[in-house]
Amino acid sequence: MPVTLLGAAEIRALAADLDVTPTKKLGQNFVVDANTVRRIVQVARVEAGERVVEVGPGLGSLTLAILETGATVTAVEIDHRLAARLPETAAAHGVPDGALTVVDADALRVSDLPGDPTVLVANLPYNVSVPVLLHLLETFPNLQRGVVMVQAEVGERLAAAPGSKVYGTPSAKAAWYGPWRLAGTVSRQVFWPVPNVDSVLVAFERDETPRGSDAARRRTFEIIDAAFGQRRKMLRQSLSGALGGSAAAATTVLEAAGVAPTDRAEQLGIDEFVRIADAG
C-alpha cells in the first residue's frame, strides 16, 4: 500500500478533532499543499532507506511526504496532542510499521534521537528556528545535511555571507558546521492559517572534517557573541572584554590571528573567528 498525503480538508478536520487552534507561540502554520511538501523533500534529496529527523511535524503533512520516499522518520513534537495522534495518522495513510518514531519532547532539550538520523527536514517556527538548528547540529554530529523551511528573515540571515546587511551571529555560528544556501521560496498560500510573512527553504551540508573540538566551538562562539554584541564597533573595542580586558590586549591577539583590529564583526567569516579564538 503506497503512502498517501494529507489534503487540506483532512488537515482542518484533524485540527478540529484535536481541538488544535494554530498559535503564533508554537509557530503552527500548517502546510496544506501536497506539491509543497513533496518539493521540500525533493530539495532535501531524501532517498529510500535514509533516516530523517523532522522537528515539529504538527499534523503530519511533511512527515508523510518524507515517508512516501521510503525513508524512515524520527519526528520530534512538543505538542502532546499532536505527538499522540501522528502515529495513527501515519498508519491510516499507509505508513508501514516501524517507519515512523515519534519523540514527544522539546527539540531544544532532546539529547537522543532513535535511529541515528543523518538528514534533517523541518518546518521551523520563527522564535526557535536558529536555536533548534544550532542545538541539533551540536548534539547530533551524524546529521550530514538538511533542508528547513523558515521565515524569510531567518533564512536570509542563516545563508548570509560576510559583508551583507543581514550577516550576523546566526550566520557565523551556522557556518561553523558547513555551508548554507537559500534553496527556494514558499508561497504564503500553502499554509493554514495564511501567515503575514514570507517563507524560504534553506539547505545546509555539514563539512566532512569538523572545524575543531567542542571546546574550540564554544570559544569561537564566545568570540562571535562578543564581536556582534557591539555592532559596528571595531574589533579591538568589541572584543576587548573577551581578549585580555583592553583594546591594546585585543589588538595584540587580533594581529597574531592575522585580523585587522580596525575590522568589524560584519566583515569576518567563520575562519577568521576561529583564528581569533585560537590566538586568544
Q: What is the pLDDT along the chain (280 residues), one digit of tens a residue?
A: 799 999 989 999 998 999 887 655 545 578 889 999 999 999 999 999 999 999 999 999 999 999 999 999 999 999 999 999 999 999 999 999 999 999 999 999 999 999 999 999 999 988 899 999 999 999 999 999 999 999 999 999 999 999 999 999 999 999 999 999 999 999 999 988 888 889 999 999 999 999 999 999 999 999 999 999 987 789 999 999 999 999 999 999 999 999 999 999 999 999 999 999 999 8
- Reduced to 3 states (helix: H, G, I; strand: E, B; else coil), residue 231 is coil
DSSP strand E in 187-268: where? 191-192, 199-205
Query: What is the distance, to the nearest Å, from the Cα of residue 135 to the centroid of all Cα atoms in its chain?
Result: 9
The verdict on pTM exceeding 0.95 is no
Element (H, E) at 63: helix 61-67
Instruction: Determine the angle formed by the axes of helices 80-92 and 8-18, rounding to 10 degrees.
Output: 140
- Can you tell me the distance from the alpha carbon of 278 to that of 265, in angstroms, rounded to the nearest whole number? 17
Element (H, E) at 90: helix 80-92
**Other CB atoms within 10 Å distance of the CB of residue 171:** 24
